[in-house]
Every structure is written in C-alpha cells, then in structure tokens.
Amino acid sequence: MPNVTAFSDLLAAARHSAVHLEMRDSYGIAAEAAEFEQFRRTGVHPDLDPEGAGWSGWVSMIRAAVARGVLVRRARIVSEPVTAYIRYEHAGTVVNLAAGEQVRWLARRSASDLALPGNDFWLFDGAIVRFNHFTGDGASAGPEMRDEPHVAKLCADAFEAVWERAVPHEQYIL
C-alpha cells in the first residue's frame, strides 16, 4: 500500500506513546483463523506463551518499545454480551500484558456519548495515525496513514475519553 509505513517501523520510531483503539466485535484475520476456531471448539486459548513462536515478533516489539520508555496502551470497545471473538481476545490479552501493554475494556453502551473515529487505529506519539481498515466480515482491508494535526487530535481525544471510562483488563469480567 503506497505511503504506509510498516507498523514495526512506526513502533520502533515512537518515543513517548503508542495507543491502540479497537472497536469491532469480531475480526476475520486469516493468520489467526485456525487458532480462533480451536478456541471456539475448546473454550481455551491455544497460545498463551509470550515466549512462544506465535507471539515472538509482537512481544519483542512491544518489550523493546516499553524498555525505551514508550507507554503502550490498548483500549477495546465491545458489545455486551461479548462475541466469541472478544472472548478469544480477552483470553489472549495475558500475552499483551506480559509484553508490557496496558489494556482496558469499555462496554459499547458506555461509549454512546463519545466522539469516535470511524475506524480502529494506532496513534504514535500523539502525531501519526495508522488507521486499520476492515471489510464487513472482518478481514483486513489495509492500513491508512494520516498525520494531519486535526486527525491526530481526534484520535488522541477519543482514545483518552475511552481510556478514562474503560475497565482495566484484570477487572473486566466477561
């Protein structure tokens, strides 16, 4: 995709913060389809080892950022009762926490009066936005980079409003 910096490069360049807002109740990411199907059958997340091969790239990127002093936070807005996919994400969040991320959850009902962008995003150092676009069935439709100050401010304000209301992972009961 033209003019889209790789996520790993954006995270490596971050100096202060990297925040991620997720707003979908299900994702259809091909690389995790088999693992998600196994979770649906068993109710047990098949890969919770932060040192395992399935997580190694992610965990090492997050740990390196956190070691540099980057605050990495993730907030998820979810419908309740939650979907099977959200149960899968919730179960796997222990790995995000082990890597150094902070994660919070917000019931969609509690977000009704918040101004939110139309897509999930990562915001780096309050200035560079990487929107994640998805198809109707949750497959990736590719990222989009934006650096206009008003777009970064919209995303920063939205994230902080969600974060303030959201429940830390350890306290969010499905």
- Give yes or no for a contact between 108 and 78, defined as CB atoms under 8 angstroms apart: yes
Helix or strand or coil: residue 146?
A: strand
Q: Is the pTM of this model over 0.75?
A: yes
Across the range 125-140, mean pLDDT stands at 96
The beta strand positions in 39-162, using DSSP E, are 71-78, 102-107, 120-124, 128-134, 140-146
Please tell me the distance from the alpha carbon of residue 55 to that of residue 47, in angstroms, as a whole number.
8
pLDDT at 98 over 60: yes
Across the range 151-156, mean pLDDT stands at 98
pLDDT at 1 over 50: no
pLDDT at 38 over 60: yes
